[in-house]
Amino acid sequence: MTKEPFVTYEKLKEINEAYPTPFYLYDEKGIRENAQAVKEAFSWNPGFREYFAVKATPNPFLIDILREYGCGCDCSSMTELMMAHALGCRPEEIMFSSNATPAEEYQYAREIGAIINLDDITHIDFLEQVTGSIPETISCRYNPGGLFKISNDIMDNPGDAKYGMTTEQLFEAFRTLKAKGAKEFGIHAFLASNTVTNEYYPMLAKVLFEVAVELQRETGAHISFINLSGGIGIPYRPDQESNDIRVIGEGVRKVYEEVLVPAGMGDVALYTELGRFMMGPYGALVTKAIHEKHTHKEYIGCDACAVNLMRPAMYGAYHHLTVMGKEDSPCDHMYDVTGSLCENNDKFAIDRMLPRIDKGDLLFIHDAGAHGFSMGYNYNGKLKSAELLLKEDGSVQMIRRAETAEDYFATFDCFDIYQKLVSDK
């Protein structure tokens, strides 16, 4: 089985004439269609809002597209908050979900009016201490512990995650926050990552809805929103079936009407924080084969490396790879497709059956639109690539330039050596 790139070989060659590889390419048409589908899937809930997980793809041009569909921003750091604020997001459109949070980040979140989602019960006193008060609207992150299962399949292990409060801590936190002046409450939880099943969100919703009913009854706190966070995955492998967001939305609606409505909580707004699902399939890393090596294995060396896409090196993650222009050729060659880092895990594919790859071939690495560019780094002094947007009319817009040596050395600009560094290229 295979995956079809969202750009033709002819178009990609044209783009490559203007922009050298490696580069990231994003599909505006796909992004828009998916954002509309998410909006429609939860339109039954009047207060629904998708808070796009900025960490997945922190590019203001792409986030601006999502904002046209009512999306807000889920932020986890100072710079992500700064980006959301600079984009003109209203306070209620910014969710701040962080952990081990520095004082200045809480202070800035309060300054811009972001909704704060507390990761730990000890952060109540810390937030009050560093900002002077507890906001009237606040959220708490919940971690029920144990294993999270669907049927007999273990989906993830929340009990091993560093995030969130225990059940007992959650109830205590609500009582404490209410006593300190909070008036509107939210609950947030993330129990499994990259699930490729339509059952996950409704099951997560049931867990949170039942806890919400108990919380409101026992603490008297008014729960105004429940944040289902992320976890809806994408089919990285071609034999995986895609999630159907409309089926997922309908599943959540049924649980909402079964649990919340009878408890008199039919006014609760639902929020999501989808990063991977919103952007993953609509971004690709485009690289060029520049070397071939024949030793104990057959290697293809690319001009991209784990600096550009580290998921395969970090997690052993699978990303499908298309040799552009050879889509119909037989996959009769086994390759390791590598980058040039001084690390043996710098590989995009291992023992992958592909068409014959020749030097100069363009390789399209699929499903890199989330946690791709954003996880990049500068090991070996490698520079991060440009990001490009393939617009609906077929034109291409550069939405981030490639890094330069001057960028890499910029933090030495307060020292005498800086001018020598940037002149000796």
Just list the catalytic residues. Answer: 342
Show Cβ contacts of residue 52 under 8 Å, excluding neighbours closer than 6 positions: 63, 66, 71, 72, 73, 74, 273, 274, 275, 278, 279
Q: What angle do CA 25, 30, 34 make, to 5 degrees?
A: 135
Q: Parallel, antiparallel, or unpaired: how do β-strands 362-365 and 347-354 relate?
A: unpaired
CA distance 289 to 354: 13
Count of CB atoms situated within 10 Å of the CB of 132: 9
Instruction: Find how far residue 86's CA is from the centre of its chain.
Output: 20
Q: How many residues does the chain have?
A: 425
Strands 222-227 and 269-272, sheet pairing: parallel
Count the Cβ atoms, other than its own, within 10 Å of residue 125.
12
Bridge partners of 156, per DSSP, are 148
Residue 424, token pair as written in the block = 């000796």
Using CA atoms, how far apart are residues 72 and 64, in angstroms rounded to an integer? 10
Place of tokens 């790859």: 357
